[in-house]
């Protein structure tokens, strides 16, 4: 089967119940337990997982070790989800490991279970030393929770996926804390107090060494041209090639884990300076326009985006192009964004899970919002503005990024 056929076949399983953790362990044994052949760093959290995972894997690679990275979602191609030392799996290798996984199944695996098993097989085949593993949803019942990690991380806890994980911070924290394993060191970002209590209780029960982030690094300056923030780390001034309200907190969490792994400060510093994270307050400049792409897809992420955007030179000058998934709090996110823009275009991201425009509640905001279902038409309408912020869904951000590259309008960095 060709890559497109393979991907379409597993994507069709998105609504399949799957085999659960017990079934995953059975299949892993059939595959030769590939997940036991490398050191795993397991990462859960409401927001910041992708950034922390990418930055941590990049730091490990920069220090001279081989690092596999498993993240979700992807922006343009599913091959982005599985990479080694910054290089995505090839389409041929992706198809090959997917077929290998499917060859051992009895009951139908779901989409994310297949990808998780495929990543384990690929990383074992390539004999990587470390794997940075991002949970897909929650943690306790997540398919990635079959591993015995070297380190566990919880980046943040907020309200998201409430229909599945629970409608309170405590319940969501309990689900995230499900990745904690007996005696395995746990690193946590800055959590709400109620989430801290849940996580700390589970850490005590599992007798794990716990590092809880107590401070946040402060931005010294933002270089909008070079798309980086500067901060003091001790007496040294460091640069982080990321923009965003919480990125320094994410970076400090990565720094602490790297020091625990005895990665030299020079390697960490170089990794911070050279990391690349598409779709996270990514500024793309064309000949006539500036596009800001940010995959903020839940209310806490939208609040962080707005806070940082208000400090940028683009605030008050940009039009908003947004679209959301129907299983997200899309009405709340739109209400958070709306006061900060005079021109707002809402569209449907290219996904079967996209919130349809007729599903939005009628509010006083309706007068200032243009609802354009077709994403191409929405893009055309937004392109009449000089500065455009695109947010709300990684699927929309990925579509926009691909569109800009295909049109070959991007000015070289």
In this structure, are strands 39-44 and 130-134 parallel, antiparallel, or unpaired?
A: parallel
pLDDT score for 364: 61
pLDDT score for 408: 59
Which pTM was predicted?
Answer: 0.94
pLDDT score for 412: 46
In this structure, are strands 82-84 and 87-88 parallel, antiparallel, or unpaired?
A: antiparallel
Return d(Cα 111, Cα 386) in angstroms, integer: 39
pLDDT score for 367: 73
Residue 137 class from Cβ within 10 Å (0-12 exposed, 13-18 middle, 19+ buried)?
middle
What are the structure tokens assigned to 217, written together?
A: 């690094």
Q: Domains for the chain: give ranges and CATH numbers.
A: 3-274 (3.40.1190.10), 282-406 (3.90.190.20)
Contact 153, 41 (CB under 8 A): yes
- The edge-to-edge listing of strands for the beta sheet with 228-233 is 219-223, 228-233, 236-240
Tell me the three-class secondary structure of the chain, residue by residue: CCHHHHHHHHHCCCCCCCCHHHHHHHHHHHCCCHHHCCEEEEEECCCCHHHHHHHHHHHHHHCCCCEEEECCCCCCCHHHHEEECCEECCHHHHHHHHHHHHCCCCCCCCHHHHHHHHHHHHHHHCCCCEEEEECCCCCCCCHHHHCCCCEEEECCCCCCCHHHHCCCHHHHHHHHHHHCCCCCCEEECCCCHHHHHHHHHHHHHCCCCEEECCCCCCEEEEECCCCEEEEEECCEEEEECCCCCCHHHHHHHHHHHHHHCCCCHHHHHHHHHHCCCCCCCEEEEECCCEEEEECCCCHHHHHHHHHHHCCCCCCCCCEEEECCECCCCHHHHHHHHHHHCCCEEECCCCCCCECCHHHCCCCHHHHHEEECCCHHHHHHHHCCCCEEEEECCHHHHHHHHHHHHHCCCECCC
Contact 31, 105 (CB under 8 A): no
Handedness of CA 326, 167, 46, 11 (dihedral sign): negative
pLDDT score for 163: 74
Say which residue the tokens 């990383």 belong to: 123
pLDDT score for 413: 47
Q: pLDDT by residue for the chain (413 residues), tens digit each? A: 789 999 999 999 998 999 999 999 999 999 999 999 999 999 999 999 999 999 999 999 999 999 999 999 999 999 999 999 999 999 999 999 999 999 999 999 999 999 999 999 999 999 999 999 999 988 999 999 999 999 999 999 987 776 777 889 999 999 999 999 999 999 999 999 999 999 999 999 999 999 998 877 788 899 999 999 999 988 889 999 999 989 999 999 999 999 999 999 999 999 999 999 999 999 999 888 999 999 999 999 999 999 999 999 999 999 999 999 998 999 999 999 999 998 999 999 998 889 998 888 876 666 788 999 999 999 999 999 999 999 999 999 999 999 998 875 555 44
pLDDT score for 251: 95
Return d(Cα 78, Cα 87) in angstroms, integer: 13
Other C-beta atoms closer than 10 Å to the C-beta of 363 total 12
pLDDT score for 165: 79
């Amino acid at each position: 089967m060709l890559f497109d056929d393979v991907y379409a076949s597993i994507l069709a399983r998105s609504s399949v119940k799957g085999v659960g953790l017990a079934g995953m362990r059975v299949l892993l044994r059939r595959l030769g337990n590939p997940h036991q052949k490398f050191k795993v760093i397991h990462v859960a959290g409401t927001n910041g997982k992708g950034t922390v995972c990418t930055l941590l894997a990049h730091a490990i690679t920069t220090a001279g070790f081989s690092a596999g990275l498993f993240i979700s979602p992807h922006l343009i191609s599913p091959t982005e989800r599985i990479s080694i030392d910054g290089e995505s799996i090839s389409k041929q290798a992706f198809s090959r490991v997917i077929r290998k996984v499917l060859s051992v199944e009895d009951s139908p695996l779901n989409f994310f279970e297949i990808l998780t098993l495929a990543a384990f097989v690929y990383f074992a085949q390539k004999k990587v030393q470390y794997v940075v593993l991002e949970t897909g949803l929650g943690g306790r019942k997540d398919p990635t929770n079959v591993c015995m990690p070297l380190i566990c991380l919880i980046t943040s806890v907020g309200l998201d996926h409430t229909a599945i994980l629970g409608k309170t911070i405590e319940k969501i924290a309990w689900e995230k804390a499900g990745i904690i394993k007996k005696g395995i060191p746990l690193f946590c970002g800055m959590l709400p107090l109620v989430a801290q209590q849940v996580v700390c209780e589970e850490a005590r029960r599992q007798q794990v060494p716990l590092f809880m982030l107590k401070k946040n690094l402060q931005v010294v300056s933002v270089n909008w041209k070079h798309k980086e923030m500067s901060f003091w780390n001790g007496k040294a001034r460091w640069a982080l090639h990321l923009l965003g309200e919480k990125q320094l907190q994410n970076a400090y969490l990565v720094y602490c884990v790297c020091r625990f792994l005895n990665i030299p400060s020079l390697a960490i510093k170089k990794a911070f300076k050279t990391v690349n994270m598409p779709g996270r307050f990514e500024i793309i400049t064309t000949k006539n326009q500036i596009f800001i792409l940010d995959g903020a897809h839940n209310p806490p992420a939208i609040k962080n985006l707005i806070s940082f955007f208000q400090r940028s030179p683009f605030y008050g000058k940009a039009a908003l192009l947004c679209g959301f998934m129907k299983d997200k709090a899309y009405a709340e996110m739109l209400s958070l964004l709306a006061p900060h823009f005079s021109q707002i275009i809402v569209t449907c991201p290219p996904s079967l899970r996209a919130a349809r425009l007729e599903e939005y509640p009628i509010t006083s905001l309706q007068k200032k919002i243009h609802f354009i279902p077709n994403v191409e038409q929405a893009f055309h309408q937004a392109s009449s503005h000089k500065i455009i912020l695109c947010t709300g869904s990684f699927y929309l951000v990925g579509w926009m990024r691909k569109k800009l590259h295909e049109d070959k309008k991007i000015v070289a960095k």
